[in-house]
Amino acid sequence: MPHAQKRMFTDPAAGAAFWADEIEEAKRDCVNRLRYAFPELPESALVGMAVEHPAVAAQIRYCRKRLAYYRRLQRRRAAHAV
């Protein structure tokens, strides 16, 4: 994800969609790595473990902050469009 940290969008909707996808991608990547170590665990347990992993949690927090920023921009743009 380091390549994405500098990414800026002129369209708030595109920015919000991008960061929402980044959150899901971070979870998927960690689940895929955990699946090799714990093949007997169900998907829901792997997702829980992924979200609790410190590196993934930090990445998700960063993505959520960026997502919140673009959602605020969307609301501001919608308020000014009226």
* Residue 5, domain member (yes or no): no
Q: Is residue 16 part of a domain?
A: yes
Q: Tell me whether residue 67 is in a domain.
A: yes
* Distance, CA of 6 to CA of 1 (rounded, Å): 10
Q: Is residue 6 domain-resident?
A: no
Q: Is residue 58 included in any domain, yes or no?
A: yes
Q: pTM above the 0.75 mark?
A: no
Does some domain include residue 24? yes
User: What range defines the domain where residue 73 resides?
Assistant: 12-81
Average pLDDT, the chain: 82
The number of distinct structural domains making up the chain is: 1
SS3 33: helix
Question: pLDDT by residue (tens digit) across 2-32?
Answer: 455 556 777 888 888 888 888 888 888 888 8
